[in-house]
Amino acid sequence: MRTLGTIDLEVLQLAAASGGSINESAIEHSALSRLGVGRVLDALASLRDRDLLRLDKDSGSFVMTDAARAILWSDSIPLWARILRLLEIRSCGIVDMMAILRIGRNGPLEEALGGLQREGFVMAAPQVRDGSPQKVYEILPEGIERMDAASKNGGGAYASQIPKGPGTHNLINEIERIVSASSTMSADERRAALQKISGLRDMIKASHAESETGAAPGEP
């Protein structure tokens, strides 16, 4: 998969939301205008160089290529893989994820997120964004390793079902075992670390429960 930065993602997201192409007017009336003309032009040129946008000389618009659509906006890529791809670029709340991936909240999206959490590929942590509390999803190292492995196999080696991972609880148990056996930490440091691990375990349990019962406080 071609590597995207956050500005690349924002440009392609705008194009995807605009029917697959963007022009000067669309950019001026979007959040991209905050970046200034120079940075936007640099981003457009970079995306063209990587064959993710092409210039339609007749209309003056920049059009998404098939390669760009295949990153996050193709139904040929399983939803769980698109979620991990997105989280490799940036952490996301579920509302942002819906907007970027252009998918509804109920059903497949929440089911995929729950499965990715259970397998230990992503975690959700409460954060305050725009003045409101929400769950923000982040990819874990095991999720990055899973996507790296798929890329080495040609980038399209994605099973329709979420692959088996180490499991979040297994990961926490292993960290707890390592800390408990550490000879380089003082007793107080070890006790403090184990308390934090216990708190993380409780937070993940609560996050899993919310995934099955509904949104976090403050989410629509």
User: Is residue 51 domain-shared with residue 113, that is, in the same domain?
Assistant: no
User: Is residue 144 domain-shared with residue 199, that is, in the same domain?
Assistant: yes
183 has a pLDDT exceeding 90: no
28 inside domain: yes
How confident is the model over 41-56, as pLDDT tens digits?
Answer: 999 999 999 999 999 9
User: In terms of pTM, does the model score above 0.75?
Assistant: no
Rounded to whole angstroms, the maximal C-alpha distance in the chain is: 71
User: Is residue 49 domain-shared with residue 85, that is, in the same domain?
Assistant: no
User: In angstroms, rounded to a whole number, what is the distance separating the alpha carbons of residues 220 and 218?
Assistant: 7
Distant-in-sequence contacts of 151-159, Cβ < 8 A, 24+ apart: 151/1, 155/1, 156/77, 158/77, 158/78, 158/81, 159/78
115 inside domain: yes
1 inside domain: no
User: Is residue 40 domain-shared with residue 102, that is, in the same domain?
Assistant: no
The domain that holds 66 is classified in CATH as 1.10.10.10
User: Is residue 196 domain-shared with residue 165, that is, in the same domain?
Assistant: yes
pLDDT at 98: 92
For residue 116, give the nearest of 155, 89, 148, 81 by alpha carbon: 81
Domain boundary among the residues 42, 70, 98 is at 70
pLDDT at 194: 78
Q: What HEC string does 17-54 produce?
A: HCCCEECHHHHHCCHHHHHCHHHHHHHHHHHHHCCCEE
User: Is residue 107 domain-shared with residue 165, that is, in the same domain?
Assistant: yes
User: Is residue 121 domain-shared with residue 148, that is, in the same domain?
Assistant: yes
Tokens for 72, please give them: 């996050």
Q: What is the helix (H) or strand (E) element at residue 159, kind and residue range? A: none
For residue 137, give the nearest of 89, 176, 76, 79 by alpha carbon: 89
170 inside domain: yes
**Average pLDDT score over the chain:** 82
What average pLDDT does range 44-73 have in this prediction? 93
The domain tally of the chain equals 2
User: In angstroms, rounded to a whole number, what is the distance separating the alpha carbons of residues 115 and 121?
Assistant: 9
Q: Would you say 165 and 146 are in contact if contact means Cβ atoms under 8 Å apart?
A: yes
pLDDT at 55: 93
Domain boundary among the residues 70, 99, 119 is at 70
User: Is residue 118 domain-shared with residue 23, that is, in the same domain?
Assistant: no
pLDDT at 21: 93
For residue 13, give the nearest of 47, 37, 42, 45 by alpha carbon: 47
Tokens for 103, please give them: 């998918």
pLDDT at 209: 58
Domain boundary among the residues 50, 70, 90 is at 70
Count helices and strands (H / E) in the chain.
Answer: 10, 6
pLDDT at 128: 78
What average pLDDT does range 10-22 have in this prediction? 93
151 inside domain: yes
Residue 10 DSSP symbol:
H
User: Is residue 141 domain-shared with residue 195, that is, in the same domain?
Assistant: yes
pLDDT at 218: 45
Query: Which range (25-29, 118-122, 174-178) has the least confidence?
Result: 174-178
- Nearest 5°: the CA angle 123, 159, 169 is 30
Letter string b/e over residues 122-140, b meaning 16 or more CB atoms within 10 A of that residue's CB: bbbeeeeeeeeebbbbebb
Supply the range of the domain harboring residue 204: 77-213
pLDDT at 42: 94
How confident is the model over 190-219, as pLDDT tens digits?
Answer: 788 777 777 776 766 665 555 555 544 444
156 pLDDT tier (thresholds 50, 70, 90):
low
User: Is residue 194 domain-shared with residue 136, that is, in the same domain?
Assistant: yes
